Amino acid sequence: MKNQQGFTIWFTGLPCCGKTTIATQVALILKEKKYMVERLDGDIIRQGFTNDLGFTKKDRNENIKRVTFIAKMLTRNNVVVLASFVSPYKKQRRKARKEIKNFIEVYVRCPVKICMKRDVKGMYQQALEGKIKHFTGVDDPYEEPEHPELIVDTDIESVEESVNKVLQKIEELGYISR
């Protein structure tokens, strides 16, 4: 294990924009370099830790509040946290930034039409048909970050390009050395 400083990379963006894909690749590279890394992913967290919550604004806010607490604790204990959550509301992301020391916001930007094409679970289609309510990008808003540390455009960048941009940013900020 390296003598490392904890930090959280918070990947935010529409469903199916590439948050999990990029975070997973970044985690693999950092683990290969012997960094202690923990992945917090929306789908996994909702299966267990926040399975009592739905997708109303109140429940989404509670979900992010709980995840922020976990990320804060891990970061404080010198773990690299890669959090990938839609986290559609600016206010909740600002709260996360305020609470978590060494917070890096990565906006995984992608047009909703491309996200819909990538959707292997059919969630967007179900939302368009009214079968899923409060779906971000369909009948619930996504508030774009105002000042993220990094923007990756997954509709025009390869996964490798986006991953390299993340690694370059955290190296530039002094959190890792390559």
CA distance 140 to 35: 37
Where does 48-157 show beta strands of DSSP type E? Answer: 80-84, 103-109, 150-153
Q: Cβ distance 15 to 111 under 8 Å?
A: no
CA distance 134 to 156: 28
Query: What's residue 1's pLDDT?
Result: 52
Query: In order of start, what are the domains of the chain with their CATH numbers?
Result: 7-172 (3.40.50.300)
Q: Which helix (H) or strand (E) holds 8?
A: strand 7-12
Nearest CA among 95, 91, 105, 110 for reference residue 149: 105
Query: What's residue 55's pLDDT?
Result: 76
Per-residue pLDDT averaged across 136-150, rounded? Answer: 94
Q: Cβ distance 176 to 33 under 8 Å?
A: yes
Share of the chain above pLDDT 90, in %: 76
Per-residue pLDDT averaged across 45-62, rounded? Answer: 78
Q: Cβ distance 132 to 126 under 8 Å?
A: yes
pLDDT > 80? residue 17 = yes
Q: Which residues are catalytic?
A: 87
pLDDT > 60? residue 2 = no
Number of H helices, E strands in the chain: 7, 5
Return the amino acid letter for 36: M
Per DSSP, the residues of 94-135 read HHHHHHSSSEEEEEEE--HHHHHHH-TT-HHHHHHTTSS-S-
Residue 143 CB coordination number (10 Å): 14
Model confidence pLDDT, tens digit, residues 108-139 = 999 999 999 999 889 999 999 999 888 898 98
Q: Across the chain, what does the average pLDDT equal? A: 92
Model confidence pLDDT, tens digit, residues 57-98 = 888 888 889 999 999 999 999 999 999 999 999 999 999 999
